[in-house]
Amino acid sequence: MIRSLIPVPFRFPRGGACLLLGAMMVLTFTAAAQDKPKTEPDVLVLSNGDTLHGTLVSSAGGKVNFHSEPLGDIAVDWDKVKELHTEGKFAVLDKTVKLRGIKNMKDVPIGTLEVADKAVTVHTGGTPPPAPIPVDNAQYIIDQPTLDKQVYHLPSFFSGWNGGANAGATLVGGTQNQYGFSAGLGMVRVIPTMTWLDPRNRTSFNISDSYGKITEPGFLSGDVLVPENEIKSAIFHGDFERDQYFSPRVYVLGNMAFDHNFSQNLQLQQIYGGGLGWTAFKTPTQELDLKGTLQYERQSFITGISTTNPNLIGSTFGASYLLQMKFLTFTQQLQYIPAYNDVAAYSANEANTVTFPAYKNLGLSFGTLDSYLNNPPVSSPPTQRNSFQFTMGLTYAIKSKY
């Protein structure tokens, strides 16, 4: 009787504990999923009455970029938008308000949006609420995470670069054997990476190289042996520049450049300098920069006797032009390089490149490089002062995802 009164511990059947624990976890996760509020989609109502549900991406250039699951990414002119309602928070940049940097961010309204009667209302939750902004003045609309990233954070050194790489080659076999190749890489990094904020700094570098050789085999002309003849061409250019802005259009810069040109008897020209730059005009499709530097320059030549002082103090006065259109990109660089301690040791360069997009990031490029060197050394045969190069090849566009 006494033994029968002792409680016997309950035991699950084998595997029962695991089953019960698994069931409890499933019920817990299900309840948590049910409790998590669903995010409502943004709503875009077009002027013809069509209603789209999805996500507002951004607005720039008078167009609204909207993502809808059935249609994907679409771009709609403001004239075709009747209403817009967002659940997420966005910043509206009024083109009548000048932005100079972080100190002005407090003046940018951030909140959910309502668009009606050609005006954008930002619900910031503050008092008093900001006045509605006409859609014609809403130059940019950006989601809050993108705004915070561009204003308060910096990309890593390996992020934010844009540019392109190109390459071309020529092979000829016959009485004369000929081959040649050209390659180039140009990259630029502007911080912030978005054009709707004033630039703080810009870093750029360019490398271009072309090499070719024509070989004519030796032969007998009667009893005379004509030796093998070889003609070589080699042109290399590399430059690096760092710009630091202290106003939206004026900046200080530091640069270096290296040039080799076999056809001009130039072994190496080195330039190290610094100066000022000014963005004369800038639009969404065009930009013109004017620059002037004070620099140290050193020249060395392949053969011959040079009468020039190899250590030069001079300047580079240059202009850089960029034109970006839907079907082509055109760049032009002009430079005049005088030397103050040897007035005869001046040079000038002009470079032009036209790129036509072909498929995705691939394009077809054409380029010219015209170089003038006033002080080549005395040599035999005489060295020409001017050098002209034409290149053609494929280009791969490198685009930042930052």
Q: What is the CATH number of the domain that holds 334?
A: 2.40.160.40
Mean pLDDT across the stretch 337-350?
93
Residue 250 counted as domain residue: yes
- pLDDT given at position 196: 77
Residue 390: Cβ-neighbour burial (10 angstroms; 0-12, 13-18, 19+): exposed
Domain end, chosen from 152, 187, 213, is at 152
Are residue 136 and residue 176 in the same domain, yes or no? no
Residue 51 counted as domain residue: yes
| Range scoring the smallest mean pLDDT among 22-31, 125-134, 336-345 | 22-31
Are residue 255 and residue 364 in the same domain, yes or no? yes
The residue among 17 and 385 whose pLDDT is bigger is: 385
Residue identified by tokens 């996760």 is: 29
Domain end, chosen from 126, 152, 178, is at 152
| Range scoring the smallest mean pLDDT among 1-15, 309-323, 362-376 | 1-15
| Radius of gyration of the chain measured on its C-alpha atoms | 33
Are residue 171 and residue 62 in the same domain, yes or no? no
Are residue 126 and residue 189 in the same domain, yes or no? no
Give the number of domains in the chain. Answer: 2
Are residue 145 and residue 171 in the same domain, yes or no? no
Q: Which two tokens stand for residue 285?
A: 């499709």
Are residue 349 and residue 243 in the same domain, yes or no? yes
Q: Which two tokens stand for residue 269?
A: 């020209």
Residue 9 counted as domain residue: no
Domain end, chosen from 106, 130, 152, is at 152
Q: Please give the residue range of the domain that contains residue 385.
A: 162-398
286-328 residue pLDDT tens? 999 999 999 999 999 888 767 777 899 999 999 999 999 989 9
Are residue 170 and residue 144 in the same domain, yes or no? no
37-87 residue pLDDT tens? 556 899 999 999 999 999 999 998 889 999 998 889 999 999 999 999 999
The residue among 38 and 250 whose pLDDT is bigger is: 250
Are residue 213 and residue 85 in the same domain, yes or no? no
User: Rounded to an integer, what distance in angstroms lies between the CA atom of residue 217 and that of residue 225?
Assistant: 11
Are residue 134 and residue 171 in the same domain, yes or no? no
| Range scoring the smallest mean pLDDT among 268-282, 283-297, 376-390 | 376-390
Are residue 71 and residue 122 in the same domain, yes or no? yes
User: Rounded to an integer, what distance in angstroms lies between the CA atom of residue 123 and that of residue 126?
Assistant: 8
Residue 187 counted as domain residue: yes
Residue 23 counted as domain residue: no
Residue 47, number of CB atoms within 10 A of its CB: 12
Residue 4: Cβ-neighbour burial (10 angstroms; 0-12, 13-18, 19+): exposed
Residue 17 counted as domain residue: no
**Percentage of the chain with pLDDT > 90?**
55
Are residue 93 and residue 166 in the same domain, yes or no? no
Residue 1 counted as domain residue: no
Please give the backbone phi and psi of residue 5, each rounded to the nearest 5 degrees, phi first. -85, -15
Are residue 227 and residue 309 in the same domain, yes or no? yes
Residue 74 counted as domain residue: yes
